[in-house]
Chains A and B, each alone.
Chain A
Amino acid sequence: MQPDKLTAASRIVRAIVILFVLAAAGILLASFAGSPQQRIRLFARSLNLTSPAFIAAGHALRHPEFLHPAVDLCFSPLLGNPPPDPHALLFEPRAPLVSEGLR
């Protein structure tokens, strides 16, 4: 084993540790320098905002006030897609409805 290889190896270890610490410190510093929350809150209070401007204007997710109650809530974009119901996947759901109707 050549000693200069071990010196290079120790430099690699130090470089990785320094990279990690610098990355963590950078993210931490950026977060401190980050958001002017006070000014954003002031706008929200002044204009009575009910949604942030992440989604383009006109989309129902941006303006939940646009949702009309006559539209079935199943289609509301505010609700996530429900998980699939295994009964609906395995069995035909229409059968009991038909028999109920016949009765």
Chain B
Amino acid sequence: MIWHPLLLAVLILDSLSFFMVSAAAVTALRIVISWSPQSAEQHQIRLEVKAEVASVQVRGAGLLFVASSVLFIVAVSNVLPALVPGAMCGTGVLQACRGLGQRALAFRLLTIVIVYVWCSVDRLNRAHPDAPLTTVSGRGCLLLVPVLFLAYLDSVRAVMALDTHQPVDCCAVVYDQVRSLAPATGNLLSLPDAWMVAVFLAAGILLIVLGLRVWRAKSPPSSPLSFALTGLSLLWVPLAYLALIRVLAAYHYQVLYHHCPWCLFLADHHLVGYPLFGALAVTCLEGCVLWVGLKVARDFPQVAIPAYNRSQLAGLSIASATLLFVVLAAGPAMLWRLRFGVWM
């Protein structure tokens, strides 16, 4: 373990958010068991008040958790590499966490997806005085508790396991991962680089066009178009990640065959990893929200209009995030080509 104040800050924020979500989950359980919107009994009125409180608690917990996740990523990518012998970037730090760091990050990502979708549903719920989505958001809160607990637990374990006495070799890890990924993932990774980038760009442009169409639609967006946008955004995110790591990152590093995602977060590369991966996260989250918005609009007519409006906003967010990613990821490659007349 390393006693770094940034890790202490992460753990304190995680503890607070877990505490708040647990308190809200007690109310959520009561809502799931005994919510009856038609009733005017004292029990129901008290539950409605408590539901309001729980909503603020989960939103507060979500904010704290997102803040702690950003600090965790900053710690892994920018602060801890200086303390782990042999680590040049976050890859070495995760190696020093004996594999627990990746799990913590995966659970954190999943928690953020659930919190984000929950917040969107809660916002729609608060848009109508009858709060028709209260039971749905109660179930969402109950789903959030175990995932957030696992994220919290794995973060604590990763921090405890962090070994600053054993040297690591992060470049070896990157090369091993790329070598071992190739046979395992089969066709997609064995796709020629040029094709992969072409598919990534074509899908990105399609995503921008579809996102803008959903945003500009005068009537409620049609279901096939919106579901296509959701599906495409969720498929595009892994494709964009692979295209970035396998091909386009080389133009940022100006080194061939360096397939490291964490080096993009370093100050040497202008911290470009933050906007790049932030844009990917927004595309993924807004894709989920778009689907949830349409589902809510279909199943709960009371909140259909705000749900459609939210879906349209999601279309705009997806288009903007995709555009940002494409420009930032492919920009250096284009500049290289213009400058030297060849691809790397």
Query: Contact: A80 with B1, CB < 8 Å?
Result: no
Provide the residues of chain A in CB contact with B160, threshold 8 Å: 83
Provide the residues of chain B in CB contact with A82, threshold 8 Å: 165
Tell me if A57 is interfacial: C-beta within 8 Å of chain B: no
Interface residues on B, range: under 10
6 example contacts (A-B, Cβ-Cβ < 8 A) are as follows A79-B165, A80-B2, A80-B164, A82-B165, A83-B1, A83-B160
- Which chain B residues in 61-107 approach chain A with CB under 8 Å? none
Closest 6 pairs between A and B when the two form their complex, measured CB to CB: A83-B1, A79-B165, A82-B165, A80-B164, A83-B160, A80-B2
For the A-B complex, the count of residue pairs with Cβ-Cβ distances under 8 Å equals 6
Provide the residues of chain B in CB contact with A80, threshold 8 Å: 2, 164
| Residue in B closest to A73 when the chains form the complex, CB atoms | B165
Complex formed: what's the CA distance from A79 to B2 in Å? 12
- Which chain A residues in 50-96 approach chain B with CB under 8 Å? 79-80, 82-83
Chain A 5-41 per-residue mask, 1 if CB under 8 angstroms from chain B, else 0? 0000000000000000000000000000000000000
Complex formed: what's the CA distance from A83 to B1 in Å? 6
| Residue in A closest to B83 when the chains form the complex, CB atoms | A80
Complex formed: what's the CA distance from A79 to B164 in Å? 9
Chain B 1-21 per-residue mask, 1 if CB under 8 angstroms from chain A, else 0? 110000000000000000000
Task: Tell me how far the C-beta of B292 lies from the nearest C-beta in chain A, rounded to whole angstroms.
Answer: 39
Provide the residues of chain A in CB contact with B165, threshold 8 Å: 79, 82
Chain B 161-186 per-residue mask, 1 if CB under 8 angstroms from chain A, else 0? 00011000000000000000000000
Complex formed: what's the CA distance from A82 to B163 in Å? 9
- Which chain B residues in 276-318 approach chain A with CB under 8 Å? none
Provide the residues of chain B in CB contact with A79, threshold 8 Å: 165
Task: Tell me how far the C-beta of A27 lies from the nearest C-beta in chain B, rounded to whole angstroms.
Answer: 18
| Residue in B closest to A82 when the chains form the complex, CB atoms | B165
Provide the residues of chain A in CB contact with B1, threshold 8 Å: 83
Task: Tell me how far the C-beta of B86 lies from the nearest C-beta in chain A, rounded to whole angstroms.
Answer: 15
- Which chain B residues in 147-206 approach chain A with CB under 8 Å? 160, 164-165
Provide the residues of chain A in CB contact with B164, threshold 8 Å: 80
Complex formed: what's the CA distance from A80 to B2 in Å? 9
Complex formed: what's the CA distance from A66 to B107 in Å? 46
| Residue in B closest to A81 when the chains form the complex, CB atoms | B3
| Residue in B closest to A80 when the chains form the complex, CB atoms | B164
Complex formed: what's the CA distance from A82 to B165 in Å? 9
Provide the residues of chain A in CB contact with B2, threshold 8 Å: 80
Task: Tell me how far the C-beta of A35 lies from the nearest C-beta in chain B, rounded to whole angstroms.
Answer: 18
Provide the residues of chain B in CB contact with A83, threshold 8 Å: 1, 160
| Residue in A closest to B162 when the chains form the complex, CB atoms | A83
Task: Tell me how far the C-beta of B4 lies from the nearest C-beta in chain A, rounded to whole angstroms.
Answer: 11
Task: Tell me how far the C-beta of A15 lies from the nearest C-beta in chain B, rounded to whole angstroms.
Answer: 28
Complex formed: what's the CA distance from A79 to B163 in Å? 12
Task: Tell me how far the C-beta of A47 lies from the nearest C-beta in chain B, rounded to whole angstroms.
Answer: 24
Complex formed: what's the CA distance from A79 to B83 in Å? 11
Complex formed: what's the CA distance from A91 to B218 in Å? 72
Complex formed: what's the CA distance from A57 to B165 in Å? 26
Complex formed: what's the CA distance from A83 to B159 in Å? 12
Task: Tell me how far the C-beta of A77 lies from the nearest C-beta in chain B, rounded to whole angstroms.
Answer: 14
Task: Tell me how far the C-beta of B295 lies from the nearest C-beta in chain A, rounded to whole angstroms.
Answer: 44
- Which chain B residues in 257-285 approach chain A with CB under 8 Å? none
Task: Tell me how far the C-beta of A28 lies from the nearest C-beta in chain B, rounded to whole angstroms.
Answer: 19
